[in-house]
Amino acid sequence: MMKSIRFTNAEITMAGNLFLPENFNESACYPAIVVVHPSGGVKEQTSGLYAEELARHGYITLAFDAAYQGESSGEPRQLENPYHRVEDISAAIDYLVAQHCVDEQRIGVVGICAGGGYAIHATMLDRRIKALGTVSAVNYGDMYRQGWEGNQQPASSLELLQMAAEQRTAEAKGAATGYLPTTPSSVEEAQNRDFAEAYEYYRTPRAMHRNAPSRFTTRSLAQLVTYDAFNLANIFLTQPMLVIAGSEAGTRWMTEEIYQRAASQNKNLHIVNGATHIAMYDQPEYVSEAAGKFVSFFAEHLYRQLADFDLVMLINNAGFGDFSMPWDIDLAKATRMLDLNVKALTTLSLLYTRDYADREATLINVSSVGGYSLFDIAVTYCATKFFVAAFTEGLAQNLRDQGKKMRAKVIAPGPTQSEFVVHSSDNGGISGDGLFAEESFITAEKLADYTWQLFDSDSTVGIVNTDRQLMLKSPVYPYINVPH
């Protein structure tokens, strides 16, 4: 679910798209991620795509138009002031922390291209940012000083400062605002492969948008050429970070540079094989790979912000499915399903177990009746839930064998009245348009009651049978103690 919002940054009215997780509950408290668009981009393009993707995994996400750009206010239009762009990010966080449904201790940021450089700078300045992610990050100042591929002499950028000064003088005397293109006007004008693809992305139906005119103010060169998004990263960039770049991107060197320079003791570099700089913006296989990495990364590092709380119970209820034959399944959707149902759940379960194994605490993972029986229309989904059930049962037995205080349990419901079927079936509808009989569903309230019964029992497994009744059971999967 997405809704348009407005927030302020000093005198500027900022326009944003707020993405909410599936089954959003206004009374709950969610981690949040700000997603920052490239120079010349708008929230409806790659930043919105990543924001929507991350929201599917349980985050509140905010993609917004930079001040002076898109639907945000400010004159002159298309001003690209890097310092204002960084302040935009903090203003977005101001908006988020004022929302009762956002956990202000679990806020991350993801920046793309120049937005990645701005996100890096903002993370150094704003300690409310607990974890940082970038995609195809560009330090805009370095790009002008050293070139797209890092092979240019910085002195050559001096003429750009002169150009900015002359244009500003002309405008002070009444001339119209001067502009320069952010992308080539044709493939033939492109300096390299990345620029040719930038033309395709911004100036053709691939991703062109009426609010992204592919130009910026000439006067912006004065700030851009002298800007350094990575300055003092060796001192101040201490938060956990995951930086991602394509193996074929001309800008890959900037991602590798910030990875080396950052002071963070928990920094991760991921190179996407075969991807170019722009391909990371929208190509499904590359976006899916990056998003999957971010899901696990933020799950771990935003979880760490809960260290001050005593979590006597953790319920892993996130997950979605797919009702397709294996040869028809959408691979991008299957990857998202694995990321959420298996990777994110396992990451959170292991982190919780590490912290609470010797304390009175309970972990309840939500599997499915499809975690104990294979359904012909959902083999891939069932396999993920078989993993959840087997993993949780095994964890429960490990804890018991080792005399640990923590308990692990697994609840396995059947069809439940929620948005799950809508998002799992291409046809939609609470009954899955015939996938399940209407009378086979239980209410969400009934499932909550069954989950509490499982928590309050000595059983490890709770399975909702075909009569919609809860069966409390001992572990189902064979468990073998290996001599060692």
Which DSSP string do the residues of 363-382 spell out, in sequence order?
A: EEEE--GGGTS--TT-HHHH
Burial of 339 (0-12, 13-18, 19+ CB in 10 A): buried
Provide, for the chain, the percentages of residues in helix, strand and coil under a 3-state DSSP scheme, each rounded to the nearest 5: 40, 20, 40
* Neighbour count for residue 419 (Cβ, 10 Å): 14
| Mean residue pLDDT across the chain | 93
Whether 343 contacts 296, CB under 8 Å:
yes
| Edge-to-edge order in the sheet of strand 12-19 | 2-9, 12-19, 60-64, 30-36, 102-112, 131-135, 241-246, 267-272
Sequence-ordered strand ranges (E) for 177-317: 179-181, 215-217, 241-246, 267-272, 313-316
The token pair at 205 is 């139906």
Residue 113's nearest CA partner among 83, 148, 78 is 148
Cβ neighbours for 51, distance < 8 A, ≥ 6 positions apart? 17, 19, 33, 35, 43, 61, 62, 63
In this predicted model, which residue has the larger pLDDT, 321 or 88? 88
Q: What is the pLDDT of residue 334?
A: 86
Q: What letter would DSSP give residue 160? A: H
What whole-number distance in Å separates Cα of residue 417 and Cα of residue 442?
6
Range with lowest mean pLDDT among 74-83, 149-158, 233-242, 305-314: 305-314
Sequence-ordered strand ranges (E) for 20-93: 30-36, 60-64
pLDDT of 64 > 90? The answer is yes
What whole-number distance in Å separates Cα of residue 115 and Cα of residue 89?
10
pLDDT tens figures, 263-301: 999 999 999 999 999 999 999 999 999 998 998 899 888
Range with lowest mean pLDDT among 19-23, 40-44, 404-408, 434-438: 434-438
What whole-number distance in Å separates Cα of residue 255 and Cα of residue 246?
10
The token pair at 267 is 């920094």
Range with lowest mean pLDDT among 11-15, 80-84, 140-144, 411-415: 411-415
Q: What is the pLDDT of residue 61?
A: 98
pLDDT of 126 > 70? The answer is yes
Q: What is the pLDDT of residue 433?
A: 44
Amino acid letter at 207? Answer: A
Q: What is the pLDDT of residue 420?
A: 59
CA angle 35, 38, 41 (to 5 degrees): 100
Residue count (the chain): 484
CA 236 to chain centre: 23
Whether 454 contacts 315, CB under 8 Å:
no
Is the torsion defined by CA of 424, 430, 432, 435 positive or negative? Answer: positive
Q: What is the pLDDT of residue 428?
A: 42
Residue 50's nearest CA partner among 344, 286, 320, 334 is 286
pLDDT band at residue 169, thresholds of 50, 70 and 90?
very high
pLDDT tens figures, 1-30: 999 999 999 999 999 999 998 778 888 899
What whole-number distance in Å separates Cα of residue 455 and Cα of residue 335?
31
What whole-number distance in Å separates Cα of residue 364 and Cα of residue 360?
14
Range with lowest mean pLDDT among 134-138, 235-239, 390-394, 444-448: 444-448
pLDDT band at residue 193, thresholds of 50, 70 and 90?
very high
3-state secondary structure of 304: helix
pLDDT of 200 > 90? The answer is yes
Q: What is the pLDDT of residue 432?
A: 43
pLDDT tens figures, 414-434: 888 776 555 555 444 434 445
Q: What is the pLDDT of residue 28?
A: 87
3-state secondary structure of 354: helix
- Averaged pLDDT, 218-236: 98
Q: What is the pLDDT of residue 431?
A: 43
pLDDT of 43 > 50? The answer is yes
Number of H helices and E strands in the chain, helices first, is 16, 15
3-state secondary structure of 26: coil
Q: What are phi and psi of 197, to 5 degrees?
A: -75, -30
Amino acid letter at 46? Answer: T
Whether 72 contacts 150, CB under 8 Å:
no
pLDDT band at residue 187, thresholds of 50, 70 and 90?
very high
Q: What is the pLDDT of residue 436?
A: 63
**Cα end-to-end span (Å), the chain:** 51
pLDDT band at residue 47, thresholds of 50, 70 and 90?
very high
